[in-house]
Amino acid sequence: MAAAALAATLLAGAAPASAADAGRVGPSAAPDHELRRALDRVVADGAVGARVTVVRDGHKTTLRAGTATLEGRRPVPLHGRFRIGSVTKTFVATTLLRLAAERKIRLDAPVSRYLPGLLPPDKGNAITVRMLLHHSSGLPTYVDAIPAQGPAFLRHRYRHYDARELVDRVAAAPLLFEPGGGWAYSDTNYIVAGMLIEAVTGRPWTAVVTGRVLRPLGLRATSAPRDETRIPGPHAHGYYRPAPGARPVDISALNPSLAGAAGAMISDGADLDRFLSALVGGRLLPPKYLAELLRTDAAAGGYGLGIHRFPTSCGTTVLGHNGEIHGYHTMAATTPDRTRRVVWSVTTTEFPLDPEQPMATSLRKLLDAAVCSRGR
């Protein structure tokens, strides 16, 4: 959830851990000074901790900086899990496209065909499945209609949110534009997408994503929790500052139902790299539906169906998604030929990340270093 500001940015305590803390896998043992400097800058600009894995032509490098907790000295786990926020959307879009390939759902059918009564007729009959995945439905985001910020969020952090309740918060609100007539990133689209998965399969979206994507790829560190509040296994802690100048609160534990199919999932670096490589490499979708997913729209800032195109300073474009949820920033991206791939997780105290903050600039430079550097 709340990945739009960070995506726009990427389009346009204790001391950090040293290079000796790097984990390196593969034939190359050359130090990646440019990547190291970029990662250290992310921490210097406000992150609590940061971890990045980069694959370049078969050479894999994992680096970390900062600490696992705000007031401790323990380093960020090299193989720890983290909340992936809106990277969840790529999993959900992939699952819906698999269902479309099986003729269980049609991309250009109206939402009302599968979820009658969820939206008023003028919306439900006009908004298609494709528009949801592409963020061209015109539905406003429900995030602005729930206590997702400030002290109120902390009071409700363990509360369960039903998907229908989240949609109902904005179902009667005016559309941002006529369905199909514009583009605006809205988490409501993917809450409805999760409900569509449930409507056509009769199972929770979490179970369907697990059965159709996670298990076939052996993604054992990845999960789609419903109300489980804690991150399983080793993990760096994320924080949330409820007001300017306020003391940050450890927000690692929360009820992820507030994000649902828009951003509830948990993963680690190796799993996200395996998933994205398998997806772009054609292992999860037939060619026709992979082409649908990857057909990005310049008018939509390079967005496709649950995937984004990010430019870099060297002219190389990568495919993937970024994610933002309280305490955690994530990026998972690959070049179309999969020769260069990057996954990072950054823990911080600010949500959402202000595109004007120095950390936003340092994240953009981290992407450049990961994709454009020669690794020396």
pLDDT tens series, the chain, 376 aa: 666 655 655 665 333 333 334 443 333 334 589 999 999 999 999 999 999 999 999 999 999 999 999 999 999 999 999 999 999 999 999 999 999 999 999 999 999 999 999 999 999 999 999 999 999 999 999 999 999 999 999 999 999 999 999 999 999 999 999 999 999 999 999 999 999 999 999 999 999 999 999 999 999 999 999 999 999 999 999 999 999 999 999 999 999 999 999 999 999 999 999 999 999 999 999 999 999 999 998 999 999 999 999 999 999 999 999 999 999 999 999 999 999 999 999 999 999 999 999 999 999 999 999 999 876 5
Q: Kindly list the distances between the CA atom of residue 114 and the CA atoms of 28, 117, 197, 229, in Å, as whole numbers in the listed order.
A: 51, 10, 10, 30
- The token duo for 12 is 């346009």
Q: How many CB atoms lie within 10 A of CB 215?
A: 12
Q: How many CB atoms lie within 10 A of CB 181?
A: 11
**81, 267 Cβ separation under 8 angstroms:** yes
- The token duo for 338 is 């999969």
| Annotated catalytic residue 345 | no
| pLDDT attached to residue 25 | 36
Active-site position among 18, 86, 223, 267: 86
- The token duo for 2 is 């709340």
| pLDDT attached to residue 4 | 64
Torsion sign across C-alpha atoms 253, 250, 343, 89: positive
3-state secondary structure of 25: strand
Number of domains in the chain: 1
Give the residue carrying structure tokens 């290079």: 19
- The token duo for 127 is 């908004």
| pLDDT attached to residue 21 | 43
Q: Listing from the earlier edge strand, what are the strands of the sheet with 328-334?
A: 23-25, 59-66, 49-56, 340-347, 328-334, 318-325, 308-310
| pLDDT attached to residue 307 | 98
| pLDDT attached to residue 2 | 60
Any idea what the CATH number is for the domain that residue 232 is in?
3.40.710.10
DSSP string, 215-280: HHHT-TT-B--SS--S--SSBPPPEE-SSTTPPPEE-SS--GGGTGGGT--EEEHHHHHHHHHHHH
The residue type found at 139 is L
DSSP letter assigned to residue 180: T
3-state secondary structure of 65: strand
**86, 80 Cβ separation under 8 angstroms:** no
Max CA separation in the chain (angstroms): 60
Q: Kindly list the distances between the CA atom of residue 157 and the CA atoms of 32, 117, 252, 276, in Å, as whole numbers in the listed order.
A: 39, 29, 10, 30
**Residue range(s) defining the domain that contains residue 335:** 4-372
With CA atoms as reference, report the closest residue to 72 among 295, 193, 236, 216. 236
| pLDDT attached to residue 355 | 93
With CA atoms as reference, report the closest residue to 328 among 252, 267, 253, 275. 252
pTM: 0.94
Rounded to an integer, what distance in angstroms lies between the CA atom of residue 195 and that of residue 262? 11
